[in-house]
Structure 1
Amino acid sequence: MPRPRVHDLERLLDVAESLVAAGGPEGFTVRALAAASGVSNGAIYHAFGSLPVLLGRVWLRAAGDFLDLQAELVDAVRGSGPEAAVAAVVAAASAPAVFADRRPAAARMLMEVRREQLLGPEVPPEPAEAMLALDERVSAMLTRLARALWGRADGPSVAVMTMCVVDLPTALFRRALTGPTPTGGPVVGPDNRERLEAAVRAVLTLPPPPPRGGRPTPSGKD
């Protein structure tokens, strides 16, 4: 049986992404994907090998695209000094809302579905390595932002950055990203985006706590 072409694989992943976002991983089956996509069960198995690998590809593609967008938004901030560093944190925090504008199903899936739900307890080696690489990208972004603003990248400073870039957007955007899909207009409204920026800026008015050793880690060192 011939393997689907690259663009067909991307379309399959798009359809799978929408199905997982709409019904969660529990109800997702190869049969449902075949019915929705028009691709046979056999061709899907031939392309991905197993359901866990397919679901892993769906989640990893969405997460990788999100991190690409987040880096793009941070890189677009111009200037130097504290204000530019704060603006970069705000840009990173806004990424879920911007991603939802472009890929609402992917944004919903990343917000609502934990990757452990998709991959299960036994992760195949290739997705496991890809997940580790994504975790390293997240850590690198948080470290980069902390160093740019405070000249340090120890545990407490990265924890504050995590609060700004991960915890606050999750708290403020979750209802919009997991609720009914709006007809027209952005998934996350301007009011929530403005409140997120205000919250991030407020958190950043206070310096992070000192590290356990009592002295901040110098810029450029972990």
Structure 2
Amino acid sequence: MADVGADRVTVRELASAAGVPNGTIYHAFGSLGAVLARTWLRAANDFLDLQRELADRAKTGAEDPSAAVVAAALAPAEFAERRSAAARMLLTVERDRLLGPRLPAELADELIGIDARLVSLLVGLSETVWNRRDGAAVEVMTTCVVDLPSALLRGALTGAETRPVPQRLRERLAAAVRAVLTVPPPPLPRRPATTRKQPTTKD
């Protein structure tokens, strides 16, 4: 799926690669869509596990809170060294393309639930850096952990040849993340002061 895309994968190809009859695939998973969704989910959950592990490790004992954000941003490069095909699939196969009317409801819920895991990480990083969990702060974290890695690492991770992400590219990404973090999110709006109504007394 990482090499040809979800739309071009067939049950026959999967069965041939696994060395089993076509019926075995249908019996085990129910449909081609379920196979693809399970494969993508396994990779996504493994990646998010690693990303949180790296962020937590960087945060422990670090004087600079941005270290955890940098570690989370560099997680795709680390994941690609361990599972290059899975990393390439996560970058090239959009989750929404796996959703469809024939996909079992529980699988669809799991795919959508991936967002909750990512948001939880982003909120945690925002609290670490700014002690904030509002939308503006999380948006900055999204830039650092999602947008910048996708833009800077996509070429290296989706190329035909499987190679580690160059150190210079990792350093460039880390520098970009730190630069973004130097501009904090806008201050939270002040809540209007409330005046307590004085009780009226009868003469």
Calculate the TM-score normalised by the size of structure 1: 0.81
- Cα pair distance change 1:122/1:36, threshold 3 Å: closer
Deviations 1:6-49 (A, max 9, x none): xxxxxxxxxxxxxx001111110100111111011111111000
Greater shift in the superposed pair: 126-135 or 189-198: 126-135
Aligned to 1:201: 178
Q: Is the 8 A contact 2:88 2:157 kept in 1?
A: yes
Cα distance in 1 for partners of 2:152, 2:101 equals 30
Percentage of identical aligned residues: 58
Q: Is the 8 A contact 1:111 1:178 kept in 2?
A: yes
What residue identity is the alignment partner of 1:169? P
- Give matches, 1:179-198, under 5 Å: 179-182=159-162, 185-186=163-164, 188-198=165-175
* 2:5 counterpart residue number: 24
The equivalent residue for 2:198 is none
Q: SS of the residue aligned with 2:185?
A: coil
RMSD over aligned CA atoms reads: 1.5
Separation of aligned partners in 1, 2:190 and 2:169: 37
Query: How far apart are residue 122 of structure 1 and its match?
Result: 5.5
Instruction: Tell me the matched-pair count.
Output: 190
- The AA in structure 2 aligned to 1:199 is A
Deviation track 1:113-144 (CA, whole Å, cap 9, x = no partner) reads 10122333664211122123321111110000
- Structure 2 residue aligned with 1:94: 74
TM-score, structure 2 normalization: 0.89
Q: Which residue of 2 aligns with 1:53?
A: 34
Aligned to 2:161, the other structure's residue is in SS state coil
Paired residues of 2:88 and 2:158 also in contact (CA < 8 A)? yes
Matches within 5 A, 1:141-220: 141-182=121-162, 185-186=163-164, 188-211=165-188, 213-214=189-190
Cα drift, residue 214 of structure 1: 4.3
Which has the greater radius of gyration?
2
Deviation at 1:54, TM superposition (A): 0.9
Per-residue CA deviation, residues 63-91 of structure 1 (Å, 9 max, x unaligned), is: 0000000011012122255x0x2000000
Match of 1:108 in 2: 88
Unaligned stretches of 5+ in structure 1? 1-19, 216-222
Contact 1:96 1:169 in 2 (8 A): yes
Partner residue of 1:79? 61
Query: How far did 1:178 drift?
Result: 1.3
Residue ranges of structure 2 left out of the alignment (5+ in a row) = 192-203
Greater Cα shift, 121-130 or 197-206: 121-130
Q: In terms of mean alpha carbon deviation, does 70-79 or 192-201 score higher? A: 70-79
Alignment of 1:136 onto 2:113? no
- Tell whether the 8 Å contact from 2:33 to 2:102 is kept in structure 1 after alignment: no
Render the CA deviation track for 1:93-121: whole Å, top value 9, x for unaligned: 00100000011111001011101223336
**Residue type matched to 1:174 in 2?**
R
Q: Match of 1:89, as an amino acid?
A: V
Q: Alpha-carbon deviation of 1:53?
A: 0.9
